[in-house]
């Protein structure tokens, strides 16, 4: 086989179904083979669309997403998407073409050092320089992307490697692996964890994205049901434990639920499962839970005590940790959540519900709540990045694992539309609801052509406030209302634009019946865009001001007419 045939055969044997990509000169041999294979190629309209679509596919399926791009600009157009997958621990295989071996380093046409460019944002980057290395490189790359903490890998293949002949048997005999999993730290730490919980009066569980990627959703529910501990989630952990569960307090952090932040601030023992302790949760690390015993469980030892010093660090797969813990607790008959602590948590929930002013125009929260009311967990929920992302995290309860897709660590505007495409191919039996903004959607709006081409069941709700809402909000609250380059003087007519792509579109404004418009969007077959003219001045509340602590939120509280600091 030539290199292209071997690569396609390898992906077929791994069970890959979809490839997202965009062809070019250095991958022409690859596309010639791909076009005659059993793999389904989804032609996006930009390489960034391809990598985000592969990312979205991976998030909803748990399988590696695969994308192809040509050399030079094709490869560099993948960079943002690779970085996005890296920060959110998404398994991704990016295959890029490269100029011929004898042209590398000579500034050949469409040459770029994509290995050097992506080295900081991949788990590993490979360049195949010899034919007999190809089988081993592909096998190792797949294992690196999918084992341990998942993440993206990049395989750069010169044009003549695609065209050359590879002896698969020779390559397999030289199989190697430079990536060896680190030892498990569970056995040494388990007694310490049990002892800390035994002394706890106000224990709390924090669920992060590692619970999703570690396939620990079922065992975390069993663990919590047994211990009765309250639960908070990170943005990436949303859905790993049902938002609708009685003891789930929702998302913590800068725009977290009031009760969740107050409970976290009051806890004396925290079990943090698969979290990064990002600055959006901790604020200033030195101010974060100074009196709390922190048990941090993560499969990646690099995350332990990186941002927050863990009192009991545990290098372990989250599912294995919870299984062992639950077994130990049941043998001893131990339960930890005290009645007094649960009563205190209930008071937080009752005293500080999530509120917003419903009068004075169509509010983004209203649109989100209405979609949630009508379709709930029957759809995959995808967001772009901005105010709408936080509104969805606050007001759309997610009850199923891998049914919530968002860009967490990198915060990539333009992620939503192509990620929703990948999600639609990943879960073909479910519709997809995308919440985006008028700023975000225009960053990859060309992917409307991909949606129209495949007639995907994708319902796009543009929360159109004619501005860059999150930056505008910060300018209002912290820069004395100096709205520098955040208000859009003109936007396209999104309904007419959708129609130009052959996509059905609806409008929603202050005087329209939003419930009927949402129902119509889901009644219509195929893709539908709903342009929602929402209030420009609506802010995401609560918010922890820069440098503030978890209990220093600004918000609209029950019985108070104005925004104030929590009391």
State the catalytic residues. Answer: 47, 109-110, 159, 470
Q: Specify the residue for token string 């879960």.
A: 427
Q: How many CB atoms within 10 Å of residue 192?
A: 15
Whether the Cβ atoms of residue 44 and residue 74 lie closer than 8 Å to each other: no
Q: Which tokens hold the place of 399?
A: 């009850």
Question: Which SS3 state, helix, strand or coil, does residue 1 take?
Answer: coil
Q: Contact 453/526 with Cβ under 8 angstroms?
A: no
Strands (E), 384-457: 404-405, 431-437
> Helix H segments across 77-113?
79-87
Tokens of 10: 């390898």
| Partners of 120 in the β-ladder | none
In angstroms, the CA 190 to CA 187 distance is 6
217: nearest Cα among 196, 197, 231: 231
Cα pseudo-dihedral 114, 116, 122, 126, rounded to 10: 70
Sign (positive or negative) of CA dihedral 48, 51, 54, 56: negative
Task: State the residue for tokens 């793999």.
Answer: 39
Q: Residue 542: is the preceding peptide bond cis (ω within 30°)?
A: yes
Q: Using alpha carbons, select from 230, 174, 183, 189 the residue that is nearest to residue 207.
A: 230
> What is the distance between the alpha carbons of residues 406 and 274, in angstroms, rounded to a whole number?
17
Strands 564-565 and 554-555, bridge-based pairing: antiparallel
Phi then psi dihedrals of residue 162, to 5 deg? -60, -40
Q: CB within 8 A of 377, min separation 6: which ones?
A: 398, 399, 400, 403
User: Which tokens sit at 32?
Assistant: 């010639």
548-554: long-range contacts, CB 8 A cutoff, minimum separation 24: 548/283, 549/265, 549/283, 549/287, 550/252, 550/261, 550/262, 550/264, 550/265, 550/283, 550/288, 551/261, 551/262, 551/265, 553/258, 553/261, 554/477
Question: What's the half-sphere exposure (Cβ side, CA atoms, 13 Å) at 482?
Answer: 4
C-alpha span between 479 and 324 (Å, rounded):
50
């Amino acid at each position: 086989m030539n290199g292209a045939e071997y690569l396609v055969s390898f992906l077929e044997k791994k069970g890959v179904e979809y490839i997202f990509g965009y062809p070019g000169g250095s991958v022409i041999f690859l596309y010639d083979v791909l076009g005659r294979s059993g793999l389904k190629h989804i032609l996006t309209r930009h390489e960034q669309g391809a990598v985000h679509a592969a990312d979205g596919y991976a998030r909803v399926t748990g399988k590696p997403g695969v994308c192809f791009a040509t050399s030079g600009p094709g490869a560099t157009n993948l960079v943002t998407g690779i970085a996005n997958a890296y920060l959110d621990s998404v398994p991704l295989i990016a295959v890029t073409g490269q100029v011929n071996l004898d042209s590398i380093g000579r500034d050949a046409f469409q040459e770029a050092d994509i290995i050097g460019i992506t080295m900081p944002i991949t788990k590993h980057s490979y360049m195949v320089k010899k034919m007999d290395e190809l089988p081993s490189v592909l096998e190792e790359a797949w294992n690196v992307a999918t084992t341990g903490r998942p993440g993206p890998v990049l395989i750069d293949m010169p044009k003549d490697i695609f065209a050359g002949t590879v002896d698969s048997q020779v390559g397999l005999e030289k199989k190697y692996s430079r990536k060896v999993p680190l030892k498990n730290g569970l056995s040494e730490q388990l007694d310490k964890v049990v002892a800390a919980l035994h002394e706890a009066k106000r224990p709390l569980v924090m669920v992060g994205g590692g619970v999703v990627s570690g396939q620990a959703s079922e065992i975390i529910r069993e663990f919590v049901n047994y211990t009765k501990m309250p639960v908070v989630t990170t943005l990436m952990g949303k859905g790993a434990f049902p938002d609708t569960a009685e003891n789930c307090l929702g998302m913590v952090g800068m725009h977290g639920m009031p009760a969740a932040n107050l409970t976290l601030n009051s806890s004396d023992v925290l079990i943090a499962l698969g979290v990064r302790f990002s600055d959006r949760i901790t604020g200033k690390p030195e101010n974060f839970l100074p009196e709390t015993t922190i048990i941090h469980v993560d499969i990646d030892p690099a995350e332990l005590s990186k941002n927050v010093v863990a009192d009991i660090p545990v290098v372990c797969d989250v599912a294995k940790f919870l299984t062992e813990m639950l077994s130990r607790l049941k043998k001893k008959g131990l339960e930890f959540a005290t009645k007094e602590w649960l009563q205190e948590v209930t008071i937080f929930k009752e005293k500080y519900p999530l509120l917003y002013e419903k009068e004075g125009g169509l509010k983004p929260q209203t649109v989100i709540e209405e979609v949630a009311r009508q379709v709930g967990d029957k759809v995959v929920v995808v967001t772009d990045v901005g105010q709408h992302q936080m509104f969805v995290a606050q007001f759309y309860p997610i009850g199923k694992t891998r049914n919530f897709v968002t860009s967490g660590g990198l915060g990539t505007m333009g992620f939503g539309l192509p990620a929703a495409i990948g999600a639609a191919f990943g879960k073909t039996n479910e519709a997809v609801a995308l919440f985006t903004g008028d700023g975000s959607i225009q960053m990859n709006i060309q992917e409307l052509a991909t949606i129209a081409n495949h007639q995907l069941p994708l319902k796009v709700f543009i929360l159109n406030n004619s501005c860059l809402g999150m930056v505008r909000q910060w300018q209002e609250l912290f820069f004395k209302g100096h709205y520098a380059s955040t208000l859009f003087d003109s936007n396209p007519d999104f309904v007419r634009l959708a129609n130009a792509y052959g996509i059905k579109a609806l409008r929603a404004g202050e005087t329209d019946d939003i419930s009927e418009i949402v129902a119509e969007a889901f009644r219509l077959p195929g893709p539908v865009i709903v342009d929602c003219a929402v209030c420009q001045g609506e802010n995401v509340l609560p918010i922890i001001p820069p440098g503030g602590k978890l209990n220093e939120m600004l918000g609209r509280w029950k019985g108070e007419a104005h925004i104030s600091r929590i009391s």
